[in-house]
């Protein structure tokens, strides 16, 4: 029984290997000619999808914050200008100096008071300003200091 099973298995393997019409050159999958399935592992950019950072909003923006900046860093000068515009757009404060630490994760904003505010009003105005800055520049931990 074992000899018969082994013999028939050997014969089937021999016949399948010698079959006529087994043309692998025309039936092989060629990834370069595949127009249906996108190749996600290639380095080239698909003209329909764009760069990887534009496909998923959770990916970090490695091309900078402005559209004209093609470097692999964040454009901190533009972020400082945005923070300055937000501070100067309020009625209560004027921007004095704004800087970002070397690690690039904390922004310090020094402000001058434009109007006379008591303690509770001043705290509410600083909280409003902090919320505006945090929503416009979420990558930074923002520290507001009054001069």
**Has residue 4 been placed in a domain?**
no
**Has residue 14 been placed in a domain?**
no
DSSP per-residue codes, 30-48: -GGG--SS--TTSSSPPTT
Please name the helix (run of DSSP H) or strand (run of DSSP E) that holds residue 100, with its range, or none: strand 93-100
Q: Indicate if the pLDDT at residue 107 is higher than 80.
A: yes
Q: Indicate if the pLDDT at residue 24 is higher than 60.
A: no
Domain at 141, CATH number:
3.30.70.1350
Q: Indicate if the pLDDT at residue 72 is higher than 50.
A: no
- Residue 105 CA to residue 74 CA, distance in Å, equals 11
Instruction: Indicate the pTM of the whole model.
Output: 0.51
Q: Which pLDDT band holds residue 102 (cuts at 50, 70, 90)?
A: confident
**Has residue 34 been placed in a domain?**
no
Question: Strands of 106-113's sheet, edge to edge?
Answer: 93-100, 106-113, 141-146
> Which residues span the domain enclosing 119?
76-146
User: 24 phi and psi, to 5 degrees?
Assistant: -85, -15
Q: Which residue shows structure tokens 């009003």?
A: 121
**Has residue 120 been placed in a domain?**
yes
Q: Indicate if the pLDDT at residue 121 is higher than 70.
A: yes
% residues pLDDT > 70 (the chain): 61
**Has residue 54 been placed in a domain?**
no
pLDDT digit string, tens, across residues 43-63: 555 555 555 555 566 666 555
Q: Indicate if the pLDDT at residue 11 is higher than 70.
A: yes
As for how many domains the chain has, the answer is 1
**Has residue 61 been placed in a domain?**
no
**Has residue 138 been placed in a domain?**
yes
Backbone torsion region of residue 50, taken as left when φ is above 0, otherwise alpha when ψ lies between -120 and 50, otherwise beta? left
**Has residue 82 been placed in a domain?**
yes
Lowest mean pLDDT among 57-66, 83-92, 97-106, 136-145: 57-66
């Amino acid at each position: 029984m074992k000899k018969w099973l082994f013999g028939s298995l050997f014969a089937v393997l021999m016949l399948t290997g010698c079959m006529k019409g087994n043309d692998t050159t025309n039936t092989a999958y060629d990834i370069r000619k595949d127009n249906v399935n996108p190749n996600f592992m290639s380095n080239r950019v698909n003209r329909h999808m764009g760069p990887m950072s534009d496909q998923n909003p959770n990916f970090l923006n490695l091309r900078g914050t402005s559209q004209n900046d093609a470097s692999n860093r964040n454009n901190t000068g533009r972020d400082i200008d945005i923070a300055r515009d937000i501070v100067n757009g309020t009625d209560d404060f004027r921007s004095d100096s704004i800087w970002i630490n070397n690690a690039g994760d904390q922004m310090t904003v020094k402000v001058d008071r434009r109007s006379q505010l008591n303690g509770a009003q001043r705290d509410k105005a600083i909280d409003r300003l902090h919320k505006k800055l945090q929503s416009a520049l979420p990558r930074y931990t923002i520290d507001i200091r009054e001069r």
